[in-house]
A and B are shown apart, each in its own frame.
Chain A
Amino acid sequence: MATPNLGIKEHSHGGDLPVSKLDVHGSFDLDDFPKPNGREEEWRFTPLRRLRGLHDGRDIADGVVTVDVTAPDEVVVETVGRDDARLGTSFLPTDRVSALAYQSFTEAVVVTVPKEVEAGAPVFVRITGTEQGDAYGHVLVRAERHSAATVVLEYAGNSVYADNVEFVVEDGARLDVISLQDWERDAVHVSHHYTRVGRDARFRSFVVTLGGDLVRLSPKVAYTGPGGDAELFGLYFTGEGQHHEHRSLIDHNVSRTRSRVEYKGALSGEGAHAVWIGDVIIGEGTEGTDSYEHNRNLVLTDGTRVDSVPNLEIFTGEVEGAGHASASGRLDDVHLFYLQSRGIPADAARRLVIRGFFAELINRIEIPELRERIMTEVEEKLALHE
């Protein structure tokens, strides 16, 4: 499957300059990012007043967050100070909140999967807001070459939390990440996942966002060698008054790399607002990129809002495949008709289709107790409107 040079005209909206409008540049200096006013492309979907000051950088840290890590013996877990030389080497913050989080955290968790080690059990990093207020965090997960591991990040409790998570997947390694945003209803969370995928390495992430008042999570992937593969799955259930925003960026800066982005979510209740921004850059001079991204939204009630924006920028003619799709809507009449035509009553058919929508993604998570927990929470949210 070869796709001809699509050029940049089709997707960049900005003329013929071979410069990406999608910001892959960054800085550790907070002052390099002006305080957003809400009209910037990267902030225009986010209700700034609900960030409770995270975007202006008040530099207070009055919240309390506990971090608890469980890991099998073969995985090395450390809690380190700001001065640890391994931190911050794989990324530059790409927005003001990310820079603020990096300059504000006090301790970081470093998870190392040593080379050629296959972790026998998942690593759990549980981040719990125990006292509501501003708090900052940093996590570095390094899967050394030819290692394999699954890491679960679980966010819960109440906080106004900003953090950066670095995933470094070295050559030939495999890293699966599940990030579960299971906050209490009042929490605010702005998070960045910065991933580097090495030569012939495989990275897979499941982002599951159910809780919080506002969650804005930006997974960013770049490659450090050919043959890298990144699959980003996301699932959100945005209820009454919640704002869930996911902004993925895949930077195919190296030849023969592959990416898949599939985010899906359901919205239910007045003021539920889901945002998906899917940016893909296929870099100049690269060959053999294979990329596809997809966002689907299931609208269960009136009064919800979805913003779904795929951006594809291609700076080379040598692309293996590149595409995107986005669809938002009510339950599919044809699905319901099929089930009903087998005698299943309308309300039961609705329930089956809605659960199927979630189960399709949840079933791919390979940790049974996590699957069950997520499905139970989805059930609880569904019960509110059924």
Chain B
Amino acid sequence: MTKFEIRGLRADVLIGAEERKEILKGVDLTINSGETHAIMGPNGSGKSTLAYAVAGHPKYEITGGEVLLDGENVLEMSVDERARAGLFLAMQYPVEVPGVSMSNFLRSAVTAVRGEAPKLRAFSKELQGAMSGLSIDPSFAGRGVNEGFSGGEKKRHEILQLELLKPKVAILDETDSGLDVDALKVVSEGINRAKATGEVGVMLITHYTRILNYVKPDFVHVFAGGRVAESGGPELADVLESEGYERFVKVGA
């Protein structure tokens, strides 16, 4: 049983050498393993900043509050320590790393997170299985990390990493954006396989309710003005679907 707590988190985006802007203005959120929390909100509300700030992206600086994973202070950890502690971020725009093959990258990541190098043959088998589950052509293993991948291919590979790394907390930042219905189904099945273990808490950041038809949330939070503006059950998503974010945009402004 894992408890992931965000308490009073404040963060700035670093724009230039001297310029910065506060985006997160006191975020409170607790996610237990086995739970799925949908974070919904209008564009520019700070949803993605929350994801990146928690993961330790160099463009953001935490100015207040805390993030705890089973009581351990995540913010004191380096980016890679956070990942090894069990935190995972599926990015909205995964990064291309030229010349580093996907298979080499995945094996390095799995070795780091599991604390020992997996047996080569066992790992190949595991990788092939996970790739086929996400309808990823085996040839991708030999290509550079995300290099020349389409948007949908990148998203599938983020979920591939989710399945291989088996984190305690998975933050999925707009994983549904840019996917057609077929790709959305494939990606959602991957997320549901990871959830089925009951050992992962999921923070599902999305602008649209569409993905919630495939990945069922236990809680829905409306994110506006850099904080959680309202929380509820799955029914809150239906309200947002029919009424939009207008009410919250005004609150946040």
Residue ranges of A at the interface with B (Cβ–Cβ < 8 Å)? 333-335, 337-346, 348-349, 352-353, 355-361, 363
Q: Are A342 and B97 in contact (CB under 8 A)?
A: no
In the complex, A335 Cα to B105 Cα: how many Å?
12
Q: 8 nearest interchain CB pairs? A: A356-B99, A360-B99, A343-B83, A342-B109, A356-B100, A343-B112, A338-B95, A340-B79
- The smallest C-beta distance from A154 to any residue of chain B, in angstroms, reads 24
Nearest B residue to A349 by beta-carbon distance? B80
Q: Indicate whether B38 reaches chain A with its CB closer than 8 angstroms.
A: no
Note all chain A residues with C-beta closer than 8 A to B89: 341
5 pairs of residues in contact across A and B, judged by CB atoms under 8 Å:
A343-B83, A343-B165, A348-B108, A359-B100, A361-B99
Whether A344 and B108, one on each chain, are in contact in the complex, defined by CB atoms closer than 8 angstroms, is: yes
Interface residues of B in 94-146 (CB under 8 A from A): 94-95, 97-100, 104-105, 108-109, 112-113, 144-145
Is B79 within 8 A of A355, CB to CB?
A: no
B95 near A334 (CB under 8 angstroms)? yes
B168 contacts A by Cβ under 8 Å: no
Checking A333, A339, A343, A357 against B58 with a beta-carbon cut-off of 8 angstroms, the contacting residue is A333
Q: How many A-B residue pairs have CB under 8 A?
A: 87
B222 contacts across to A, CB distance below 8 A: none
On whether the beta carbons of B79 and A352 are closer than 8 Å, the reply is no
Other-chain residue from B80, B91, B95, B99 in contact with A343 (beta carbon distance below 8 A): B80
Q: Does B193 contact A (CB under 8 A)?
A: no
Bound state CA distance, A87 and B98, in angstroms? 41
**Which B residues touch A343, using CB under 8 A?**
80, 83-84, 109, 112-113, 165
Besides A337-B95, A343-B109, A357-B99, 8 other CB < 8 A contacts?
A333-B58, A335-B97, A337-B58, A340-B78, A341-B56, A342-B161, A352-B97, A356-B98
A360 to chain B, nearest CB (A): 3
CA gap between A339 and B110 in the complex, in Å: 11
Chain B contacts for A344, CB-based, 8 A:
80, 105, 108-109, 112
- Hey, which chain B residues are within 8 Å of A360, CB to CB? 98-99, 144
Q: Which A residues are in CB contact (< 8 Å) with B109?
A: 339, 342-344
**B residues near A335, Cβ cutoff 8 Å:** 95, 97
B37–chain A nearest beta-carbon distance, Å: 20
Please state if B99 and A341 are interface contacts (CB–CB under 8 Å): no
